[in-house]
Structure 1
Amino acid sequence: MMMMLVSLVMTVIITIMMMMACTLISKTSKSDREKMSPFECGFDPKSSARTPFSIQFFLIAVLFLIFDIEIAIIIPIIITMKWSLTSTWMSTISMFIIILIGGLYHEWNNGVLEWAK
């Protein structure tokens, strides 16, 4: 029991010493306005958080995200091609691409891809 108590006390002491050493080492110099501001984010951190932003930019970003996820889904489908039946694989990948092209056509038809009006 005594050995366990000594181990616990030593662990706490070492932990506290390491935390104090990290605190002393990580002290930075003066806070500079340029160093404290976000790098190329496009928004001023000191202004209101309720400033409007372009909904077109948001829709293009969502479209990019959808097609980026598509690549992450297509790669495993290509790898599994040699273990599955060719007809099943072709029908699966065809339906996947048809749905994606249909979604792209729908967004194009609604004018989401037109940046300047």
Structure 2
Amino acid sequence: MNKRVNQVIRKAEAKLGRKLTKRTIIMSLKKAVKVTRLGNGFARFEFAPVTVPANSFVSTAINGNSYNLISGSWIFSGNQQGYMLDNFSAAEDSWFFTAWNPTSSARTVRYAVIAKLKP
């Protein structure tokens, strides 16, 4: 996690008066629940929902294996607030997300990445 994310978490913890739950998940493209081939070695990989408990955040790293990851997207369940604190390429074949659920109920977040087969 980067410095900005840690600052956001510390502020939220100070406001709530307690520590937030923190969890890290590591996924690979092999665990995708849906793969859409886009042609010329490109594909879109969708993953099963990840539960983010109330007032907590979850960091998720997705490893590309034999693919270079190009972009990442996410969507929270429900209509309440939810924030993606991190959404970036950690390396050519790795994408990193940090989802924060500031609400008082558990939520799910779904991830998808676009990737291209390595040459």
Same fold (TM over 0.5): no
User: TM-score of the superposition, structure 2-length normalised?
Assistant: 0.20
Q: TM-score, normalised by structure 1?
A: 0.20
- RCO higher in structure (CA 8 A, sep ≥6): 2
Report the structure, 1 or 2, having the larger helix content. Answer: 1
